[in-house]
């Protein structure tokens, strides 16, 4: 896979993300505008729940109706409060979110409680009903061990997750290839229709290529599409556009 190929594919698999405490309507308008590139648009933008309605309006104004709006719940701490996570998810879906990224109660799992994670994911899946996809953030960098990463993945999948996602992007260690391999194999072994999202730490076309190649080697090349595979990132897009612009300039110059 060339870097240009990787960059082109990665743009279409991105959840272009802004989850900052100082986000404003101006910030999110700029995010939506950034989603309109000469090389296609990302699969989704990911924003805080209070920005869902504004995001939908801005994307529509820009003619980007195919771009989904994702949001986050139980974020970023991964509380064990099932009722709160479910209520947040219900409100997000009512606001028009197409996808909800909920944080798994990973601290409870580290402490030995696997049931609350199952209950929370199941409740949030019910809150999504048929209106939104549920992406479950297991926070692999905090789980640390292969066994806990595998266990969290399996619990989330069994409870009905549409995607499992590495990270919130708010901890020291986010997506890694090692965690990705464990999570993809959990999906493969489950036989379930579940996707995967690498979030945080994927910053360049070279990084993206490694994840794309790993996913294809485990799940098959045809599986790696926006319905099944995403990158969650804020800074990745600029690098991808630079990679594609440089490649386009070289082609035009005949080199």
Average pLDDT over residues 95-111: 98
Catalytic residue among 4, 68, 135, 197: 197
150 secondary structure, DSSP code = H
Query: With pLDDT > 70 as the criterion, what percentage of the chain qualifies?
Result: 96
36 belongs to the catalytic site: no
Is the model's pLDDT at 250 over the cut of 50? no
Which among 48, 78, 44 is positioned nearest to 195, based on CA atoms?
Answer: 44
| Average pLDDT score over the chain | 95
Is the model's pLDDT at 181 over the cut of 90? yes
Average pLDDT over residues 3-16: 97
Summarised one tens digit per residue, pLDDT across range 187-218 is 999 999 999 999 999 999 999 999 999 999 99
What stretch of H or E contains 182?
A: helix 177-190
197 belongs to the catalytic site: yes
252 belongs to the catalytic site: no
Average pLDDT over residues 27-56: 98
Q: What is the pTM of this model?
A: 0.95
For every residue of 52-93, DSSP letters joined together read: HHHHHHHHHHTT-TTSEEEEEESTTT--S-HHHHHHHHHHHH
């Amino acid at each position: 896979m060339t870097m240009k190929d990787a960059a082109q594919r990665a743009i279409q698999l991105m959840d272009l993300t802004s989850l900052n405490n100082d986000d404003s309507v101006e910030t999110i308008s700029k995010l939506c505008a950034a989603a309109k590139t000469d090389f296609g648009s990302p699969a989704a933008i990911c924003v805080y729940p209070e920005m869902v309605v504004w995001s939908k309006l801005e994307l529509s104004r820009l003619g980007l109706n195919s771009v989904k709006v994702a949001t986050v719940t139980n974020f970023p701490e991964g509380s064990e409060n099932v009722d709160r996570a479910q209520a947040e998810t219900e409100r997000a879906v009512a606001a028009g979110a197409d996808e909800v990224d909920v944080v798994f109660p990973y601290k409870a799992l580290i402490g030995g409680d696997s049931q609350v994670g199952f209950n929370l994911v199941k409740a949030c899946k019910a809150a999504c009903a048929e209106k939104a996809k549920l992406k479950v953030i297991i926070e692999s960098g905090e789980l640390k061990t292969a066994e806990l990463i595998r266990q969290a993945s399996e619990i989330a999948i069994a409870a009905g997750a549409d995607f499992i996602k590495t990270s919130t992007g708010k901890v020291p260690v986010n997506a890694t290839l090692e965690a990705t391999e464990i999570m993809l194999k959990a999906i493969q072994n489950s036989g379930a229709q579940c996707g995967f999202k690498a979030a945080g730490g994927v910053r360049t076309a070279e990084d993206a290529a490694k994840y794309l190649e790993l996913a294809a080697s485990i799940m098959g090349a045809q599986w790696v599409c926006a319905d099944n595979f995403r990158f969650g990132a804020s800074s990745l897009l600029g690098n991808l556009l630079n990679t594609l612009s440089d490649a386009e300039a070289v082609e035009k110059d005949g080199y």
